[in-house]
Amino acid sequence: MEAKHQTGLIWFNLDLRLIDNLTLIRAAKQCQQLVCCFIIDESWFKGNRYGLNGISEPRWRYIQQAIADLAASLQQHGQQLIIRKGQPTTEISTLISTLEIDAVYCSDDPGVYERRRWDTLVKRFPYISFERVSNHTLLTERELDFPLEDLPATYSAFRKRFEPLAETFPAGRALNRLSALPPMPQRTVPSNSVPFVEPSGYLKGGELAAHQHLNHYFDSNAPSRYKETRNALDNFADSTKLSAALALGNLSPRQVIDALRKYEQTQGANESTYWIAFELMWREYFHWYLRSYQEKVFKFSGIQGKKPATSFYPQRFAAWCKGQTPYPIVNACMHQLNQTGYMSNRGRQLVASCLIHELQLDWRYGAAYFEQQLIDYDVASNWGNWQYLAGVGADPRGSRRFNLDKQTQIYDPDGEFIKRWHGDQAVSQIDFTDAADWPLS
Ligand SMILES: Cc1cc2nc3c(=O)[nH]c(=O)nc-3n(C[C@H](O)[C@H](O)[C@H](O)COP(=O)(O)OP(=O)(O)OC[C@H]3O[C@@H](n4cnc5c(N)ncnc54)[C@H](O)[C@@H]3O)c2cc1C
């Protein structure tokens, strides 16, 4: 087939992989020459409206590992990844103008700012082609059997619609591989940033490490026990630990489902293997939820338009972030997050419940802190889960309050987790000043 475009630009974002990268495959088919770029958004390192200062060291390390891995894989295909640090629309505009790009490709990102940036570029360059490819979810928007305006109001209703569609998902579809990439143009723009890759970390970023982890997990018998173990707080094999790889697109959800189906064929399907797909459907749900509700997902009053009866107390928030609350289990989880960039799903539920119900804080501050810290930060899953727990999102039961003492007895009966993560340095009170800012004795 004759290539449609002379010089294409692929803007990697949540798709840092070569295998099963539908955006890359499409760009490779349609362009005679290809420019590959990744933009390190300078806003990641700046303060934000929640008074937080840039992304955490574990999250940044994970991203750098993933970028370095992508650059190395592209090099094996004769391509050089241009890595630019700056304001994304400015950087992409410069590349388009300097390299005479006539087609831009990007994987579909549900983020509101990200979509606005894309729309700005489309308006700024009306004479070139822009294509956003659905590449972050199991099914594409077209494969859903309902328009996004009619997204089912609850996860259960969504799952009933989605499950039969996902079951017809063709096996082997995740094995989309690239045969070759078009060459780079002779003239290029230099990178202005080089990833600094340290070897350590809770999980290693990058497609290669993600495949090794995927294979290792499905070569073990852990998937057959997943449902009983998934709520544990600390043991590495108790849940898949695939979230970070999925968040940056080092793996596609199609690849994970393929690996799961193969496991079921050889080791047998059970409730646990079903539950892995069940959790992945939550990820799908929140993706479409964000696409459907957009800005409302970031509003205090959520999609329901009802403001929670919480407020903002800077000292309480600071204490929660540092893991210095009166609740040992919460402190241990926060220390784990601060050191590794990861926290179990149960841990996330407990610390969120503490922030909302015990400390009476505005849930968005918690979500913003997670955004900064988590190596698996995913805009839709993070803000969607926080809304759900704050009672302003998709939860039909309203907000959920966890009894922290009971939860500690269930999930850390011997106090090992709390001891390991120094949660027992709990403080006896949460406030040190009164409403008029006078010190409390
Ligand atoms: C307040 C809060 C914030 C969260 N923020 C994020 C986030 O930023 N990024 C993120 O990927 N997950 C987030 N989650 C969901 C969940 O906690 C993590 O996906 C999970 O703990 C990651 O570990 P795992 O890969 O071992 O998960 P597993 O238990 O092995 O689950 C398998 C996969 O299913 C998906 N998944 C599981 N639970 C959920 C869920 N509740 N919502 C959406 N997807 C899910 C993930 O992709 C995960 O990798 C959040 C949950 C809460 C309660």
| pLDDT per residue as tens digits for the range 352-409 | 999 999 999 999 999 999 999 999 999 999 999 999 999 999 887 877 899 999 999 9
In a domain, 237, yes or no: yes
Give the ligand 1 atom nearest the CA of 276. 32
Whether residues 251 and 344 share a domain: the answer is no
CA-CA distance, 383 to 113, in Å (whole number)?
14
Token couple for 116: 């606005």
In a domain, 425, yes or no: no
Helix axis angle, 345-353 to 404-411, nearest 10°? 160
CATH classification at residue 353: 1.10.579.10
Ligand 1 centroid, distance to 381 Cα (angstroms): 7
The pLDDT assigned to 439 comes to 62
Give the ligand 1 atom nearest the CA of 253. 47
The pLDDT assigned to 165 comes to 85
Whether residues 266 and 143 share a domain: the answer is yes
The pLDDT assigned to 397 comes to 80
- Phi, psi (deg, nearest 5) at residue 8: -100, 155
Which residue of 56, 230, 379, 385 sits with most ligand 1 atoms within 8 Å of its CB, as the best mutation to test the pocket?
A: 385
Q: Does 371 contact ligand 1 (Cβ within 6 A)? A: no
In a domain, 41, yes or no: yes
Instruction: Tell me if residue 82 falls in helix, strand or coil.
Output: strand
Whether residues 113 and 260 share a domain: the answer is no
Torsion of CA 167, 396, 134, 298, to 10 degrees: -160
Indicate the residue among 232, 262, 295 that finishes a domain. 295
Whether residues 71 and 124 share a domain: the answer is yes
Ligand 1 centroid, distance to 24 Cα (angstroms): 26
Q: Does 377 contact ligand 1 (Cβ within 6 A)? A: yes
Whether residues 128 and 144 share a domain: the answer is no
Whether residues 149 and 82 share a domain: the answer is no
Question: Residue 340's domain spans which residues?
Answer: 314-420
CATH classification at residue 280: 1.25.40.80
Q: Does 374 contact ligand 1 (Cβ within 6 A)? A: yes
In a domain, 226, yes or no: yes
CATH classification at residue 123: 3.40.50.620
The pLDDT assigned to 200 comes to 72
Q: Does 248 contact ligand 1 (Cβ within 6 A)? A: no
Closest CA to 113 of 82, 89, 147, 85: 89
Indicate the residue among 295, 323, 346 that finishes a domain. 295
Indicate the residue among 263, 295, 327 that finishes a domain. 295
Whether residues 109 and 14 share a domain: the answer is yes
- Give the CA count within 13 Å in the CB-facing half-sphere of 358: 21
In a domain, 323, yes or no: yes
Q: Does 137 contact ligand 1 (Cβ within 6 A)? A: no
Whether residues 125 and 16 share a domain: the answer is yes
How far is residue 206 from each of residues 5, 13, 220, 364, measured CA to CA in Å?
30, 13, 21, 29
In a domain, 191, yes or no: no
The pLDDT assigned to 431 comes to 74
Residues in the chain with pLDDT < 70? 1-2, 169-176, 426, 432-441
Q: Does 370 contact ligand 1 (Cβ within 6 A)? A: yes
Which residue of 224, 345, 371, 399 sits with most ligand 1 atoms within 8 Å of its CB, as the best mutation to test the pocket?
A: 345
Q: Does 279 contact ligand 1 (Cβ within 6 A)? A: yes
Terminal CA-CA length for the chain: 78
Residue with CA at minimum distance from ligand 1 atom 21: 345
Token couple for 142: 């077209």
Number of domains in the chain: 3
Which residue of 283, 289, 320, 354 sits with most ligand 1 atoms within 8 Å of its CB, as the best mutation to test the pocket?
A: 283
Whether residues 144 and 128 share a domain: the answer is no
User: Is residue 85 within a helix (H) or strand (E), and if so which, with residue range?
Assistant: strand 81-86
Whether residues 58 and 95 share a domain: the answer is yes
In a domain, 193, yes or no: no
In a domain, 329, yes or no: yes
Which residue of 279, 285, 374 sits with most ligand 1 atoms within 8 Å of its CB, as the best mutation to test the pocket?
A: 279
Whether residues 218 and 262 share a domain: the answer is yes
Q: Residues for the chain: how many in total? A: 441
Residue with tokens 């998902």: 169
Whether residues 213 and 255 share a domain: the answer is yes
